[in-house]
Amino acid sequence: MKLRLAKSEKMKIPICMLPLTLMLLALAHISCVVAEEREQQMKKTYFIRMDKSKMPASFGDDHFQWYGSSLKSVSKSADVLYTYRIIIHGFSTRLTAEEAELLEKQSGIVSVLPELRYELHTTRTPEFLGITFSRNEAIFSTSDNISRVVIGLIDTGVWPEIKSYDDKGLGPVPKSWTGKCEEGTNFNLSSCNRKLVGAIFSP
């Protein structure tokens, strides 16, 4: 019995169909570009705060790689815009609301905060606060009153090991101070001192 082998022939597109084919390809490309632009418009800038103590050992000391890996797990198109490593550990990026929600559920993520824009209320802070003084006079006098001034801060976190919170050379905590120091994640009561006089933990 003889076997007949059929030769495969390449599919040929009629010349009259080429313009239509090219037009369909162009429309498909435009559609992809429009979809990508629409996705970018839906994205917002977020600040992601990380808990460095939760970084997997597989990353060694390279927390930048850890940030990138965490980000790519929720978005293939997002890039790290900026990294933070002095006051807090984390990075900023642009995400959709759904991507931000997924990222916040991951281990090692402390918070995912959307960027907020604040309007400038004053360019004359001393006058705004009612503090008046002459050009050759200090805001506070050089008396003992200065040691009784407690400055309040609204912050997203504090790292007591930073030298900015060193209380060397400072006097005792003012007796008028009625605040308190609370324990929190990676923060003990001993973290407060004569400079960092109070801290409230907010999960």
**What tens digit of pLDDT does each residue of 57-84 get?**
898 888 899 999 999 999 988 999 999 9
Q: Contact, 186 vs 194, CB < 8 A? A: no
Query: What is the per-residue pLDDT for 148?
Result: 65
Q: Residue 30: which pLDDT band, with cuts at 50, 70 and 90?
A: low
Domains of the chain: 22-114 (3.30.70.80), 118-203 (no CATH)
Q: Residue 1: which pLDDT band, with cuts at 50, 70 and 90?
A: very low
Instruction: Work out the average pLDDT over 94-99.
Output: 92
4 DSSP 8-state letter? P
Q: Which two tokens stand for residue 81?
A: 């815009």
**What tens digit of pLDDT does each residue of 110-156 get?**
999 999 887 766 666 666 666 666 655 555 555 555 566 677 766 66
Among candidate residues 86, 44, 85, 51, the one with its CA nearest the CA of residue 70: 51
**pTM, entire model:** 0.46
On the question of pLDDT at 168 being above 80, the answer is yes
Q: Contact, 66 vs 107, CB < 8 A? A: no
The DSSP element (H or E) to which 25 belongs, if any, is helix 18-42
Query: What is the per-residue pLDDT for 5?
Result: 47
Among candidate residues 111, 106, 83, 70, the one with its CA nearest the CA of residue 202: 111
Q: How far is residue 84 from each of residues 48, 52, 113, measured CA to CA in Å? A: 9, 11, 14
Q: b/e string for 4-14 if b means 16 or more Cβ within 10 A?
A: eeeeeeeeeee
